[in-house]
């Protein structure tokens, strides 16, 4: 094989490789993007009266109703409040856990974080029921408080369950997400050698707390931004826990969609699709903003 | 490039819309044999899927331990139970029709008024079929709470199975003299803040409809076709009553239990002093199971309580229509209805006109055991009020959410 032959073949190989890459990309789009796009298109069609058993032709009445309904915006705001608060509380918890973690590393092949892996497997429904059993007005804590003489009746126990501020949902979701964040932050701190950077800061005179807050935490949060963004959206759109421990009103968005979907009045179905689409739209915008923020280099690098 | 992207999205949208275009529902099974003997023969060896509420262990036991073995022995039919009720059934069947499924996942559905109204709207029920059931001639068709479902004629599209009346439940040790009208109930609520609430599901809405009867000058105001003006007047009276007691309801009326099961749990835990039931024998069952205290008692408001029947329908696209008919015929047989009447089994009222039964069966029905912790059937009958129209239920549900829950 002469060198000139090789030169002639190279573009062909590259072309084949390019072709394979495009085929792979197309397959991924077909498998993931296709169904998603079709579902979204179906939802759009349903919400504007182009399909559905009770559809009467093109109409934007469902959208007008959803967009003009105060409850829609209360629900959206409440969902993001609960999602943000749940994530904030669990992030704070995870950072405290890692900050208080002893400096020595676990023996090779073993992780001192093993106990944190176990709660990750708990399904949201089980977490919701557990929260009711522990934190409800007739739950385990209330019974202990009664036995100790701190309360006289179930109503005296300050239960976060069914609270209109979403406290029960926040506590339960935060408890569910905390172990995952501990494991995630631990892994990221190893990858980004955050402990070593903290030690460097301490040798330059920073206190352990200052080193953690001013060096470790910003680096960790920056590295975890995409995952945290996804978690924020997932927590804002959660269903089982808000259904089990949430108040009748305000509700989280997914619960509201389910309510509209299953009401006695069948004509509210298009509104359910419109609301779900609205959430998908807002979530997409949030995700795009988060990615753009992530893509921007940090201020120190830009200088 | 942008134009091409737009074209792609537009074509996907068009495909989705065209692909989802709705056709008229089609039956999923072959035509039924002309005679009952032919139907019974065609039903042999089939498995019938029944979508039903599975929230009461007594009902589940009755179906699994009494009905299923009897059908297997007599007709070689097996039963499969799927938990679903009300809007879940409507939603599932609606989705099946929209997805053009040839056969449904359900054969028989256990329903009542508002679900019947919705299923008829989307043509999801098979019928008329009741005239073909041999045991249907024993049904008490002259009773309006049986022959009409939420003021709608059933037209053979569902078969009456049982009837029940809404009942309030309290613990006679905690509440020795239960209130018997809205005014005394309101006074009790004010004297005992945080100890009363109602759920936001079917049972809670039935409680509100019972209050509507209490505020009506004549029960006839809530009967017949839906009357917007009358409805609004009574709705406003009920909502005013709720607003007056709301600060003293459980959790200050800021939230309500979402289901009767949740309300029962609150009652069993001692968080509230009242719960509600649409099953006459429920108090006895729950006491027997240790869920309610032995001092729990059912009672009625003397101003009227909603009484309704529950029905069995066959899904239009049912895969086992013949077997579904045999199953329903068995469920309205004197034997099955008599067993169901027994409070130790279920305690559900019969839909049969007992006078039409052979004397031996008449004697058995007359000697049927009574509930120990609920008013007698005669006492319940005295305050029974028929269900208003299905449209009223739909409007009330919507308005209650908008004006009370979300206010």
A29 plus A159 within the same structural domain = no
B301 plus B329 within the same structural domain = no
> For position A105, what pLDDT does the model report?
55
Distance from CA of A119 to the nearest CA of B (A): 27
State pLDDT tens for residues B152-182: 889 999 999 998 899 999 999 999 999 999 9
Q: Which residue shows structure tokens 């929230």? A: B55
Bridge-based pairing of strands B159-165 and B305-314 is antiparallel
Q: How confident is the model at residue B1 (pLDDT cuts 50, 70, 90)?
A: very low
Q: Would residue B227 count as lying in a domain?
A: yes
B225 plus B256 within the same structural domain = yes
A38 plus A69 within the same structural domain = no
A219: helix, strand or coil: helix
pTM reported for the whole predicted model? 0.83
B220 plus B266 within the same structural domain = yes
B45 plus B149 within the same structural domain = yes
B155 plus B221 within the same structural domain = no
A36 plus A177 within the same structural domain = no
Take residue A5 and report the two structure tokens written for it.
């032959």
Q: Show which residues on chain B lie within 8 Å of chain A, measured between beta carbons.
A: 9, 12-13, 15-17, 20-22, 87-88, 90-91, 94, 97-98, 114, 118, 121-122, 194, 200, 250-251, 254-256, 258, 266, 269-271, 393-394, 397-398, 401, 405-406
B218 plus B179 within the same structural domain = yes
Q: Would residue B6 count as lying in a domain?
A: no
Q: Would residue A234 count as lying in a domain?
A: yes
State pLDDT tens for residues B234-250: 999 999 999 999 999 99
Q: Phi and psi at residue B403, in whole multiples of 5°? A: -90, -20
> For position A245, what pLDDT does the model report?
95
Q: Would residue B191 count as lying in a domain?
A: yes
A69 plus A43 within the same structural domain = no
What's the whole-number average pLDDT of chain B? Answer: 90
Q: CA B327, CA A216: separation in Å to the nearest integer? A: 69
Residue B121: closest CA among chain A residues belongs to which residue? Answer: A54
Q: Would residue B4 count as lying in a domain?
A: no
Q: Report, as an integer, the average pLDDT of A212-229.
A: 86
Q: Would residue B15 count as lying in a domain?
A: no
Contact criterion met (CB < 8 Å) for A248 and B200: yes
Q: Would residue A54 count as lying in a domain?
A: no
State pLDDT tens for residues B83-131: 998 888 998 999 899 888 999 999 999 998 889 998 998 999 999 999 9
ipTM, two decimals: 0.78
A192: helix, strand or coil: coil
Provide the domain limits for residue B54. 29-164+308-374
A166 plus A30 within the same structural domain = no
Q: Report, as an integer, the average pLDDT of A160-179.
A: 95
Provide the domain limits for residue A43. 1-47
Distance from CA of B46 to the nearest CA of A (A): 31
Q: Would residue A56 count as lying in a domain?
A: no
Q: How confident is the model at residue A223 (pLDDT cuts 50, 70, 90)?
A: confident
A30 plus A84 within the same structural domain = no
Lowest mean pLDDT among A87-101, A105-119, B260-274, B360-374: A105-119
A31 plus A102 within the same structural domain = no
CATH number of the domain residue B194 falls in = 3.40.190.10
Instruction: Please tell me which of the candidates A137, A153, A263 has its beta carbon nearest to residue B397.
Output: A263
Q: Would residue B8 count as lying in a domain?
A: no
B318 plus B346 within the same structural domain = yes
The burial class, CB within 10 Å (0-12 / 13-18 / 19+), for A146 is middle
B186 plus B267 within the same structural domain = yes
Residue B275 has pLDDT above 70, yes or no: yes
B396 plus B271 within the same structural domain = yes
Distances (CA, A) of B145 to B168, B262, B362: 20, 28, 21
Q: Would residue B20 count as lying in a domain?
A: no
Give me the helices (H) in B66-220, please.
Answer: 68-75, 86-98, 113-121, 144-147, 182-191, 202-215
Give the total number of structural domains in chain B: 2
Q: Report, as an integer, the average pLDDT of B319-334.
A: 97
Total length of chain B: 407
A51: helix, strand or coil: coil
Q: Would residue B196 count as lying in a domain?
A: yes
A120 plus A144 within the same structural domain = yes
> For position A11, what pLDDT does the model report?
65
Give the distance, in angstroms, between the CA of residue B261 and the centroid of all CA atoms in the same chain: 15
CATH number of the domain residue A279 falls in = 1.10.3720.10
Tell me B31's DSSP state: P
Q: Is the peptide bond before A250 cis (omega within 30 degrees of 0)?
A: yes
B302 plus B315 within the same structural domain = no
> Within 13 Å and on the Cβ side, how many CA atoms surround B341?
22
> For position B251, what pLDDT does the model report?
93
Concatenated DSSP letters of A140-183? HHHHHHHHTTS-SSGGGS---TT-TT-HHHHHHHHHHHHHHHHH
State pLDDT tens for residues B57-89: 889 999 999 999 999 999 999 999 999 988 889
Rg (CA), chain A: 25
> For position A2, what pLDDT does the model report?
45
Q: Would residue A53 count as lying in a domain?
A: no
Residue B292 has pLDDT above 60, yes or no: yes
Give the total number of structural domains in chain A: 2
A97 plus A148 within the same structural domain = yes
Residue A303 has pLDDT above 50, yes or no: no
Q: Phi and psi at residue A250, in whole multiples of 5°? A: -75, 155
When comparing pLDDT for A155 and B231, which is higher?
A: B231
Q: CA A213, CA A98: separation in Å to the nearest integer? A: 12
């Amino acid at each position: 094989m002469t060198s000139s032959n090789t030169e002639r073949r190279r573009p062909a190989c590259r072309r084949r490789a390019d072709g394979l890459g495009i085929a792979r990309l197309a397959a991924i789009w077909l498998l993931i993007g296709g169904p998603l796009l079709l579902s979204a298109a179906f939802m759009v069609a349903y919400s504007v009266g182009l399909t559905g058993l009770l559809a009467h032709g093109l109409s934007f009445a469902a959208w007008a109703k959803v967009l003009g309904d105060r409850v829609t915006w209360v629900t959206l705001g409440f969902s993001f409040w609960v999602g943000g608060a749940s994530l904030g509380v669990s992030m704070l918890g995870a950072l405290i856990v890692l900050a208080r973690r002893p400096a020595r590393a676990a023996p090779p092949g073993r992780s001192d974080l093993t106990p944190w892996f176990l709660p990750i497997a708990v399904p949201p429904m089980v977490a919701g029921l557990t929260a009711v059993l522990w934190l409800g007005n007739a739950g385990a804590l209330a019974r202990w408080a009664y036995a100790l003489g701190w309360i006289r009746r179930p109503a005296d126990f300050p239960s976060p369950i069914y609270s209109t501020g979403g406290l029960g949902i926040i506590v339960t979701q935060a408890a569910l997400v905390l172990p995952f964040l501990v494991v995630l932050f631990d892994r990221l701190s190893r990858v980004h050698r955050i402990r070593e950077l903290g030690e460097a800061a301490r040798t330059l005179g920073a206190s352990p707390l200052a080193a953690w807050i001013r060096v470790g935490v910003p680096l960790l949060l920056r590295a975890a931004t995409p995952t945290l963004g996804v978690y924020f959206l997932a927590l804002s759109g959660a269903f089982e826990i808000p259904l089990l421990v949430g108040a009748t009103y305000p509700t989280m968005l997914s619960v509201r969609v389910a309510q509209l979907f299953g009401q006695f009045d069948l004509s509210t179905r298009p509104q359910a699709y419109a609301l779900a689409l609205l959430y998908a739209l807002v979530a997409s915008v949030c995700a795009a903003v988060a990615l753009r923020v992530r893509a921007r280099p940090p201020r120190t690098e830009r200088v | 490039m942008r134009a091409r992207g737009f074209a792609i999205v537009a074509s996907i949208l068009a495909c989705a819309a065209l692909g989802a275009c709705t056709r008229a529902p089609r039956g999923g099974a072959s035509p039924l044999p002309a005679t009952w003997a032919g139907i019974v023969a065609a039903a042999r060896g089939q498995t019938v899927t029944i979508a039903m509420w599975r929230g009461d262990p007594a009902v589940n036991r009755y179906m699994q331990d009494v009905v299923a073995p009897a059908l297997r022995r007599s007709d070689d039919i097996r039963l499969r139970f799927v938990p679903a009720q009300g809007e879940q059934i409507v939603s599932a069947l609606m989705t099946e029709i929209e997805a053009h499924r040839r056969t449904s996942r359900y054969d028989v559905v256990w329903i009542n008024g508002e679900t019947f109204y919705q299923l008829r709207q989307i043509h999801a029920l098979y019928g008329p079929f009741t005239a073909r059931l041999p045991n249907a001639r024993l049904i008490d068709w002259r009773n309006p709470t049986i022959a009409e479902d939420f003021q709608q004629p059933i037209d053979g599209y569902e078969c009456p199975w049982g009837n029940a009346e809404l009942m309030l439940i309290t613990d006679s040790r905690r509440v020795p003299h239960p209130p018997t009208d809205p005014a005394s109930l309101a006074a009790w609520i004010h004297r005992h803040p945080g100890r009363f609430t109602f759920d936001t599901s079917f049972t809670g809405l039935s409680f509100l409809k019972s209050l509507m009867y209490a505020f009506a000058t004549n029960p006839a105001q809530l009967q017949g076709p839906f009357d917007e003006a009358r409805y609004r007047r009574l709705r406003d009276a009920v909502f005013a009553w709720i607003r007056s007691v709301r600060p003293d309801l459980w959790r200050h009326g800021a939230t309500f239990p979402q289901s009767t099961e949740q309300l029962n749990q609150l009652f069993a835990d001692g968080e509230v002093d009242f719960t509600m039931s649409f099953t006459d024998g429920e108090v006895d069952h729950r006491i027997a199971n240790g869920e309610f205290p032995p001092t729990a008692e059912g009672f009625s408001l003397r101003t009227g309580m909603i009484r309704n029947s529950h029905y069995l329908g066959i899904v239009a696209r049912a895969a086992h229509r013949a077997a579904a008919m045999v199953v329903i015929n068995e469920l309205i047989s004197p034997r099955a209805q008599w067993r169901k009447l027994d409070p130790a089994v279920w305690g559900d009222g019969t839909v049969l006109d007992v006078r039409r039964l052979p004397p031996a069966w008449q004697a058995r029905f007359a000697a049927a055991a009574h509930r120990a912790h609920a008013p007698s059937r005669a006492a319940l009958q005295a305050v029974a009020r028929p269900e208003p129209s299905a449209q009223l239920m739909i409007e009330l549900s919507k308005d209650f959410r908008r004006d009370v829950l979300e206010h």
